[in-house]
Amino acid sequence: MALIKCPNCNADISDKAERCPKCGFESVSKGISEPRIINKERIDNNKKDTIVITKRSLIIACLTLSFVFILIVVAGIVIYDQINRSRMVNEELNVSMMLEQEDYHYSTVADTNGDMEENGNIQNQSNFANDNASISATVTATEPSPSDKEEQDVGLGKKNALEKAQELLKYSSYSYEGLIDSLEYYEFTEEEAKYGADNCGENWN
């Protein structure tokens, strides 16, 4: 009787034994070729199971990573959209505030200009009335005698035109033609108006 190694547990057993007394492996007495084949099949099956499990794990891991990536992309898109909307709302608010400020500024300027024009018109009317009253008083006080009335009328008209031209220049600026037109508006003759414009002291060059 000889001792052989059990193909399953590697224990020393008799070559006549039909079963390993240690692990219970059968067909020990038939030699080691059949157990080796059985063990090889078991190993192959174990490898196949391991490969299947590994493939499943890889598929699950890939699906999980893909799902996480999709969630990250969706979250980024949502956050980016919210940021853009907030920015657009802020820009619209700023534009509306600027437009309101410009409208208020323009309305204030328009009101101020209107008040200034109204005050200027009232002041000019008052000055013109005072000037007419002054001219009328001067004409009344210097009433010529019937003997030299014609000569004094010509001289008095030019003198009054000169005084009127000087008074107008105190309140505003005129061109040469503009001053003549203004004097003619006060019923001075063209000759008297030109005399007043020529002798008012302004440099028309």
Task: Tell me the CB-side half-sphere exposure of residue 96, using CA atoms within 13 A.
Answer: 6
pLDDT of residue 99: 84
Instruction: Tell me the per-residue pLDDT of 3-47, one tens digit each, with 9 for 90 and over.
Output: 888 888 888 888 777 788 888 887 545 544 444 444 556 666 777
**Angle, alpha carbons 80-86-91 (nearest 5°):** 125
Contact (CB, 8 A) for 183 and 197: yes
Q: Check: pTM over 0.85? Answer yes or no.
A: no
The two structure tokens encoding residue 63: 């699906």
Percent of the chain with pLDDT over 70: 66
Between 176-185 and 190-198, two packed helices, what is the crossing angle to 10 degrees? 130
- pLDDT of 70 higher than 90: yes
d(CA 63, CA 115): 78
3-class state of residue 98 by DSSP: helix
Average confidence score pLDDT of the chain: 76
Chain position carrying tokens 């107008």: 168
